[in-house]
Structure 1
Amino acid sequence: MSNQIALENIDNILTFLTLFSHQDCQLYDIQTEPLALDPYNYSKEFNRFITALYTEKFVISFDWTNWQHEANSFVTTPELLNVADISTIQKLFTSHVRQERFCSGHLAQLIDNGHFLTILQRLQAIRKGLS
C-alpha cells in the first residue's frame, strides 16, 4: 500500500478545516451515566473526519508506538509543525488516531488544545506551496 498523497487527498482533508475552526462546534461529549469504559462519544462530523484520514491516506502503516515521543513533541511544541512535511503529518494523524484505541479521550484532548487545527493549518500551508 502506497503512502503517496495526491493533491486531491490533501484537498479532501482540508474540507474539515472549518470543523475545527469553530469554537462553538461540539465534536464530542462525555457520557457520565452509566459508567462506561470509553465515555467519549465523538460527533458524526468528527467521525467522518477520522474516516477521511483513512480514505485519503493520512493514516498509514508504520511503527507509530516507537514514534510517540516525536508525536508528543509536536503537541507540547506546536511551532515544530511549521517545518513538518506531508510524511510527518501522516505520522501525526496515524499516531493520534491509533493512540485513541489505548487512551480514551486522546483525540478529545487534541480537539480541545487546538492540535488538530494546527496540523490542518500546516497542511493548508503545504498545499498552497504545491499550487
Structure 2
Amino acid sequence: MKNLFTLFLMGLAVLSSTACKHPGKETEALTEAVSENKDEISKDVFTDSYGEKIEVTINHTKNIATVHLEGKTYDLKKSDALPEYTASNEEYQYSDIKGNITLLKKNVDMVLFHAKRETKGSGSAKMASY
C-alpha cells in the first residue's frame, strides 16, 4: 500500500510538472511580437488663435507627416524641394517654416489652419541701460 501511494505521488508530481510548461510555439510568438521600432518620430499639438487644435506626427525615418485636424487625418510625404519642413500630397500641404505652422488645401489656395510656434524662452534677454 505504501509503494502504491508513493508511486501515485511520484506520478502526480511528474504529471503536474509537465502540465505547467507552456508550449514552444507560444514563446516564439512572443519573440516575434516584440520587434523594436527604430523610427524617429516626433509629435506636436498646435493651437491657433481661434482655439482649434492640430496634431502633427512626423516620422523622420520614413519622411511622412500625419496631420489630424477636426476629426480628419491627412497623410503627407515630405517635400525636399520646398523650404524647411514641408510635406504634401495631391490635395493638401503642411509646412513649418520659421515657426509658422500652416495646413492648406492646394487646389483652391485655402488655409485650413495657421498658428505660430511658441518660442521657448522666458521673455526678452535685453538689459536696460541707464
TM-score of the aligned structures, taking structure 1 as reference length:
0.20
| Structure holding more helix per residue | 1
Larger of the two Rg values belongs to structure: 2
| Structure holding more strand per residue | 2
TM-score of the aligned structures, taking structure 2 as reference length:
0.20
